[in-house]
Amino acid sequence: MTVAPSRDFSLPANSPRSLAYKLLVCVLVSIMWQAAQADAVDPPASMFSFNGFGTAGVVHSSEAQADFTSSSIKPNGAGYSHNWSVDVDSRIGAQLTADITPQLSAVVQVIAEQGYDNTYKPNVEWANVKYQFTSDFGVRLGRIELPTFLVSDFRKVGYANPWVRPPIEVYGVAPLTNNDGVDVSYRLHFGDVTNTLRGAYGSSYKLNLPGIVVNTHNLWGIFDTAEYAAVVFHASYLQAKATVEPPTALFGAFRQFGPAGIAIADENELSNKSVSIVTFGASYDPGGWFAMSEWTRISSHSFLGVNTAWYVSGGYRIGKFTPYITSSQITASKASDSGLAAADFPAEFAGTIAALDAGLEAILASTNHIQRSDSVGGRWDVAKNIDLKLQYDRMRIGADSTGTLINIQPGFKQDDTVNIFSATVDFVF
């Protein structure tokens, strides 16, 4: 789903779901604290493991009339807002895992990265408990990652990825990264092939935008991963209901023009509409080199339209240096943009109809993502658990589109090329 910027994991303060989530976090923290106190007596028996990760990055864009950013839910980036931006890729995170019993475990992951208010307020990315009934069957409850893509589990851990960032044409326009609910996994073995089937149900976080809130609920998904030696195949289907609150005033105005206006509003308004994501991916990494590719289709019967995206990437490891190349693309089909026919209404409504049609066209244009990127970069593992990456992206924006850029200014030229230069230092501890 491609909506303009911001993310907020907060819930209504007194809602049952909010209280349940807060209780779960308290229970996890309490269990971990009590166990830590016990471990103080016998440190070697500690059930805890603590990990951290982070990225410090800087990005420059040649386009001064729009912002390049790594996600559709960031407020600004490199280009118009900042000549050089440190907010596009920079983040820091920490994860605490507790193996309470051989079957029961818990994990909490917190990440601080740019929010819509331009602060780095920490957010809870994961907070769940897992019970492993058998070696192949497990259930998790709480806030859990959504394994929509090949690298979903570690998409925000820069050190674990070969690129500066996962290709934005695929990853940048799908902001759903976790789910508040339940997750069930079952692993099957067919000779040397291991197949893991997962199912998820729940509701994802809210997206808080200026003056509106996008709610996603009734989320469910099926995810399948097959592994054979150095080969990995991944497929997934994810669906959720999405609603914009309060209702968009533009569509309310359309409804005042009878059946024709109601039809336009019903087709384009995001009100309890299904949004689905279908993904197929594969990777091959025998050690000395890697190749990977993914294809995704994001559909919604609303102004969001349909986005289809893919990428192909590969690299070769030469000691501590890994050069790589990537080609990626996103195309879109807009929802209805015919608008109202002024000739069908009295002449005194012509000005109002023209304004409504212009507003509809502007909303549809903002989600008409047409973009092709060719990237080249290199990774240098400078020390244990630290890497340095440099990447150049040549983005070609399609006609009648702003691509994945945000904060578009009047002087922006469509059907043009944008050059992006990025440098990051990734670390884990």
In sequence order, what are the beta bridge partners of 273? 242
The span from the CA of 322 to the CA of 368, in Å, is 34
Residue pair 211/239 in contact (Cβ under 8 Å)? The answer is: no
Q: What is the mean pLDDT of the chain?
A: 88
Least confident of 317-321, 357-361, 373-377: 357-361
| 316: phi then psi, degrees, rounded to nearest 5 | -130, 130
Average pLDDT over residues 416-423: 97
C-alpha atoms less than 13 angstroms from C-alpha of 230 in its C-beta half-sphere: 9
**Cβ atoms of residues 270 and 217 within 8 Å:** no
User: How far apart, in Å, are the Cα atoms of 104 and each of 100, 146, 346?
Assistant: 5, 21, 69
Name residues whose C-beta falls within 8 Å of residue 119's C-beta, 6 or more positions apart in sequence: none
> Which tops the pLDDT comparison, 183 or 368?
183
Over 70: is that where the pLDDT of 27 sits?
no
Checking if the pLDDT of 19 tops 60, the result is no
CB 390 within 8 A of CB 365: no
Cα end-to-end span (Å), the chain? 33
241 versus 363: which is more confidently predicted? 241
**Of 65, 177, 167, residue with least CA distance to 371:** 167
DSSP output for 249-316: HHHHHHGGGHHHHHHHHHHH--SSEEEEEEEEEEEE--SSEEEEEEEEEEEESSTT-EEEEEEEEEEE
Distance from C-alpha of 109 to C-alpha of 181, rounded to nearest angstrom: 16
Cβ atoms within 10 Å, residue 35: 17
pLDDT in tens, 370-379: 999 999 999 9
Instruction: Provide the pLDDT confidence category of residue 367 given band limits of 50, 70 and 90.
Output: confident
Q: What is the β-pairing status of strands 417-428 and 386-397?
A: antiparallel
| DSSP secondary structure of 142-160 | EEEE---STTGGGTT-GGG
Q: Please give the radius of gyration of the chain, using alpha carbons only, rounded to the nearest integer.
A: 23
How far, in Å, CA of 304 to CA of 3, rounded? 8
Sign of the CA dihedral 156, 161, 162, 167? negative
pLDDT in tens, 368-406: 889 999 999 999 999 999 999 999 999 999 988 999 999
Give the other-Cβ count within 10 Å of 116's Cβ. Answer: 18
The pTM assigned to this predicted structure is 0.85
Distance CA 350, CA 367 (A): 27
Token pair 């609303």: residue: 302
Q: Confidence band (pLDDT; 50, 70, 90) for 53?
A: very high
pLDDT (tens digit, 9 = 90+) per residue, 202-232?
Answer: 987 666 655 667 788 899 999 999 999 999 9
Task: For residue 201, give the H/E element and its range.
Answer: strand 193-203
